[in-house]
């Protein structure tokens, strides 16, 4: 092999001799370690520090502060955990153990049933193996050699993977532990410093319900104890904010086996839904959208025409009506295309903005259903904007501004933006995809919005911009999206008459701001830990009479507040005031008004704000104005 040309950090170019490794080019002042360099990138691809170079390119070094560094760290920690389990329970068989967001897991087939009581022993064994300072050695194997190796070890799941891959393979060794793996990994086990096994759950082998149920151990690892403790604190805080727990506690919604994956909203939860809907409709009218409604059930031929049948049928529900096949809509776009096609459209009518709070049905496996976050029936705050090619960038820019505006109204100030490009399975020519991807990128650049490229994650019909919001405890959630589609309008033969008098095919912008209504409500509940802003609170103020003698005046105050559109309630239970206040706090009521003999006589009330305490005595008019102003301005806290 001839010399390889490397471009190092700072732009310096050097030649690498055959057999040299990235570690040979580590810059002066940088050290390999948990708090330093963990791996390298060769032209953006992760490359083990001790793996011989086989090509030239740009060589950079990465630590835990990069996404790639975390990937390597957690991937190696997964091997460490599997190694520990094999030493403690040698009869266990290993399946797969990838890194995931904030940690890693490993799927195990073992006669031993793992529980939380086993976690300390596994962690202790992991510490012991880490201290052995074992090198992680990458080895290339031919398929036959790999099969022979894992047959000898009795690892049947690895054998199945090898047979399916049908290619030359790699394994990683650390001491006497060997695992089938593409890598990349850390150079030594001692780099893995602080870790915690979090939970154990069931997982079907390869995600198929027909296969055996394995045991999945979830864990995480960090270079410092402080980082691990901070992560564990976030997990504890997230558990307190779990929308499923708060939904039950606050009587917002429930789930029932009679309709798996569907939400039953209770009266208090419906109020939150209605307030978001009212706000959504007002904003869309302000931005020039026209609201429509399309049917749930449509003929199967429609889904062939749109491309959904080919690319999405495994997630769709089908039924036969009058000896014809129909499907519950998984998306709203084909129905919007049908409405566009009912009129002759001029270029003067464009952009045409059609919006719908459209309920869709998508099949999800029962094992992945998760509260409001993963359901089978949900409502998208959907819209489709039909534009001329020349209008794409301007209209995408308007959608981006609309999204940021809406998120801020709900109290979210930090966002991350990703541009997702063409997937392997897609409709449309490369030329069309080039145009669509360029249009979205240019719109973001013109607005000065920073974004990250997410290769291959676009929709099957077009590239998309995804918007991620950061919540109160630092988690990010993907909500809004805007997608550029040149293909579907052509599939539906949609046309508009241009300024030249000729017929042209419009471009279709798919767009959702909140994403799923159900999921967004779940995000709001967790972001605010159930303590929603006043304008969204199902119960905005609770009136607390001190005794039977003040109930009449308290009832009058309650009625006065209700007449002004404030959601007020009267707690006239025969309970002590302290009990009523504690109950109001537990139910996260934003305001409480205490009415004793003095308040009744002076026709005032003593106002309390949740988390702030006593605000003093004031009139009903002053209280009304305070609450209405907070509601009007959609004040968040």
* 183: region left, alpha or beta (phi > 0 left; psi from -120 to 50 alpha): left
Beta carbons of 483 and 418 less than 8 angstroms apart: no
Q: Is 362 a catalytic residue?
A: yes
Helix, strand, or coil (residue 340): helix
Q: What is the DSSP letter of 374?
A: B
List the catalytic residue out of 48, 86, 179, 380.
380
Residue 475 is among the residues annotated as catalytic for this protein:
no
Assigned token pair, 541:
């103020």
Q: Is 251 one of the annotated active-site residues of the chain?
A: no
Q: In Å, what is the CA distance from 434 to each residue of 385, 390, 421? A: 20, 15, 9
Residue 588: closest CA among 305, 282, 246 = 246
Please tell me which residue in 179, 191, 333, 426 is annotated as part of the active site: 333
Would residue 333 be called left, alpha or beta, if left means φ above 0 and alpha means ψ between -120 and 50 degrees? alpha
Residue 381 bears catalytic tag: no
- Rounded CA-CA distance 219/240 in Å is 19
The answer to whether the CB of 418 falls within 8 A of the CB of 465 is: yes
Strands 39-42 and 4-7: unpaired
CA nearest to 363, candidates 320, 319, 321: 319
DSSP 276-337: HHHHHHHHHHHTT-EE----SEEEHHHHHHHSHHHHHGGG--EEEETTEEEEE-S-SHHHHH
Q: Per the residue annotation, which of 464, 511, 567, 580 is the catalytic one?
A: 464
From the list 51, 158, 336, 384, the catalytic residue is: 384
- Whether 140 is a known active-site residue: answer no
CA distance 458 to 512: 15
307 backbone φψ class: left, alpha, beta (φ>0; ψ -120 to 50): left
Nearest-5° angle of CA 18, CA 24, CA 30? 160
C-alpha–C-alpha distance, residues 395 and 403, integer Å: 12
CA 16 vs. chain centroid, Å, equals: 42
Both ends of the chain: CA-CA distance in Å?
Answer: 63
483 in active site: no
For residue 252, give the H/E element and its range: none
Considering 382, 466, 485, 531, which one is annotated as catalytic? 382
- In degrees, rounded to 5, the angle at the alpha carbon of residue 487 between the alpha carbons of residues 325 and 342 is 65
Annotated active-site residue in 21, 58, 281, 362: 362
| 86 catalytic residue (yes or no) | no
- The catalytic site residues sit at 333, 362, 380, 382, 384, 464, 510
């Amino acid at each position: 092999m001839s010399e390889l040309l490397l471009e190092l950090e700072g732009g310096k170019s050097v030649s690498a001799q055959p057999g040299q490794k990235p570690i040979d080019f580590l810059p002066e002042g940088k050290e390999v370690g948990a708090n330093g360099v963990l791996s390298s990138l060769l032209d953006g691809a992760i490359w083990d520090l001790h793996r011989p170079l086989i090509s030239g390119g740009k060589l950079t070094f990465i630590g835990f502060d990069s996404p790639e560094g975390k990937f390597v760290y957690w991937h190696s920690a997964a091997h460490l955990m599997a190694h520990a389990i094999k030493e403690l329970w040698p009869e266990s068989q290993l399946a797969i153990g990838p890194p995931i967001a904030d940690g890693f897991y490993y799927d195990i087939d073992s006669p031993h049933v793992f529980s939380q009581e086993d976690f300390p022993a596994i962690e202790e064994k992991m510490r012991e193996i880490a201290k052995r300072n074992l090198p992680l050695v990458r080895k290339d194997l031919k398929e036959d050699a790999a099969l022979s190796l894992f047959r000898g070890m009795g690892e049947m799941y690895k054998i199945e993977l090898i047979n399916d891959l049908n290619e030359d393979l790699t394994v990683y060794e650390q001491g006497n532990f060997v695992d089938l793996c593409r890598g990349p990994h850390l150079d030594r086990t001692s780099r893995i410093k602080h870790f915690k096994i979090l939970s154990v759950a069931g997982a079907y082998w390869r995600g198929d319900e027909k296969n055996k149920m394995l045991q999945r151990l979830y864990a995480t690892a960090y270079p410092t104890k402080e980082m691990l403790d901070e992560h564990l604190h976030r997990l504890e805080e997230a558990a307190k904010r779990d929308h499923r727990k708060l939904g039950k506690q606050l009587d917002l919604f429930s789930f029932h086996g009679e309709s798996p994956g569907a939400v039953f909203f209770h009266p208090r939860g419906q109020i939150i839904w209605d307030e978001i809907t009212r706000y959504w409709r007002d904003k869309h009218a302000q931005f020039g959208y026209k609201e429509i409604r399309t049917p749930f059930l449509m003929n199967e031929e429609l889904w062939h025409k749109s491309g959904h049948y080919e690319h999405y049928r495994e997630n769709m529900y089908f039924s036969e009506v009058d000896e014809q096949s129909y499907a519950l809509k998984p998306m709203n776009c084909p129905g919007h295309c049908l409405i566009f096609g009912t009129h002759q459209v001029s270029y003067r009518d464009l952009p045409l903005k059609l919006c719908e709070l459209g309920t869709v049905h998508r099949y999800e496996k029962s094992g992945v259903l998760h509260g409001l976050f993963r359901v089978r029936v949900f409502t998208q705050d959907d819209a489709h904007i039909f534009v001329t090619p020349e209008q794409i960038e301007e209209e995408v820019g308007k959608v981006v501004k609309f999204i940021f505006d809406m998120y801020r109204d709900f109290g979210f100030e930090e966002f991350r933006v990703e541009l997702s490009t063409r997937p392997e399975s897609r409709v449309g020519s490369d030329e069309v995809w080039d145009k669509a991807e360029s249009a979205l990128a240019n719109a973001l650049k013109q607005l000065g919005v920073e974004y990250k490229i997410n290769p291959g994650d676009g929709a099957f019909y077009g590239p998309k911009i995804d918007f991620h919001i950061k919540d109160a405890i630092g988690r990010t959630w993907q909500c809004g999206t805007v997608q550029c589609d040149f293909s579907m309008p052509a599939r539906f033969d949609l046309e508009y008459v241009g300024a030249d008098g000729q017929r042209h095919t419009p471009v279709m912008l798919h767009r959702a701001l909140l994403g799923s209504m159900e999921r967004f409500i779940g995000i709001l509940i967790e972001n605010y830990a159930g303590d929603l802003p006043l304008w969204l609170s199902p119960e905005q103020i609770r009136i607390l009479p001190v005794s039977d003698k003040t109930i009449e005046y308290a009832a009058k105050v309650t009625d006065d507040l209700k007449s002004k559109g404030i959601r007020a309630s009267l707690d006239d239970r025969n309970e002590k005031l302290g009990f009523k206040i504690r109950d109001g706090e537990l139910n996260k009521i934003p305001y409480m008004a205490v009415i004793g003999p003095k308040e009744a006589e002076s026709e005032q009330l003593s106002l309390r704000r949740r988390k702030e305490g006593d605000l003093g005595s004031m009139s009903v008019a002053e209280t009304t104005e305070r609450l209405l102003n907070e509601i009007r301005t959609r004040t968040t806290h």
